[in-house]
Amino acid sequence: MLVVTGGMGFIGSNLVHALNARGRKDLLVVDDLTDGTKFRNVVSADLAGYLDKSRFLDLVRAGDGSLATIEAIFHQGACSSTTEWDGRMMMDTNYAYSRALLDFATARGIPFIYASSASVYGGGNVFREERRFEAPLNVYGYSKFLFDEHVRGLGKTSHQVVGLRYFNVYGPREAHKGPMASVAFQLHGQLRDTGRIKLFRGVDGYGDGEQRRDFVHVDDVVAANLWFLDHPSKSGVFNCGTGKSQSFNDVAHAVLRHHGRGEIEYVAFPETLRGRYQSFTEADVTRLREAGCDVPFRRVEEGVASYLRWLDSGAP
């Protein structure tokens, strides 16, 4: 049995579908379905079962025998809101919960592949998996950073432990994220509803819409997760991005090309985001490639076009 926490969320549900495509149906999905709309992300998937996050945590802490057949844990569940400032909730959800699952996996030698985040790097311009480049700007980033530090403090373990620092992920099954959904999703909705796309004016030395991020398609993120599942001798904390930043303008033009209409409007940068916003991200994928992970990452022009075709298809 494979466990996918956050399995009805964005990346988790895409991972579930990819595992199904491999013929794996023995999947235990763990999630918090307070937002019941997330069920749509797995309505066409085959699952062995579902457990609420709290119930799963109770079973983990009790060492319940019903979990004895777990082969690997994909820990994708988290509070991923970069604007959430309830630090107590964030640390309980992203740090304490992760530690409990890792302790369980360690005691049983179960491979543990988890979601970290590029937010650990904060406002710097070097995105390499080293402590000197890590300075989160928000409590979400800090919760991810602290768990990465815990993992690195364990040193070499007898079982696989992999943290993947996701950069700006976009793609199918993210609609439930609302304002935290990707730039591509937001711009697609704006153009559909108003005929215009809004981007921020210049900030931090960048021109209008020229702030740059490492935008990575969710299918490529899932492929990286599966690569590590297939290579259980590989452990560590790795960046998971394309390695090539692109501008918000690039994303906007990909959306405009898909629709064949519309224009860009540049709006004032919000004062509330000053000092809390990453105007530039670009994964250093040296360690990922040195580990042997050869997953190709598509550029915005290809990835956004593919994503918008998926949205147009109405696929579940």
Give catalytic residues, as residue numbers.
140, 177
How many CB atoms within 10 Å of residue 1? 15
How many CB atoms within 10 Å of residue 34? 8
H or E, element range at 4: strand 2-5
Task: Give the amino acid at 138.
Answer: N
How many CB atoms within 10 Å of residue 221? 26
Q: Mention every residue, 6+ apart, whose C-beta is less than 8 A from residue 177.
A: 10, 80
User: Distance (Å, rounded) from C-alpha 200 to C-alpha 244?
Assistant: 21
Q: How far is CA 141 from CA 35, 79, 81, 169, in A?
A: 23, 11, 10, 15
Beta-strand ranges (E) seen in 9-157 are 27-31, 49-52, 72-75, 112-117
Question: Cα-flanking dihedrals φ and ψ of residue 72, to 5°?
Answer: -160, 155
Task: Return the SS3 of 166.
Answer: strand
Task: Report CA Rg, the chain.
Answer: 19
User: Distance (Å, rounded) from C-alpha 51 to C-alpha 29?
Assistant: 6
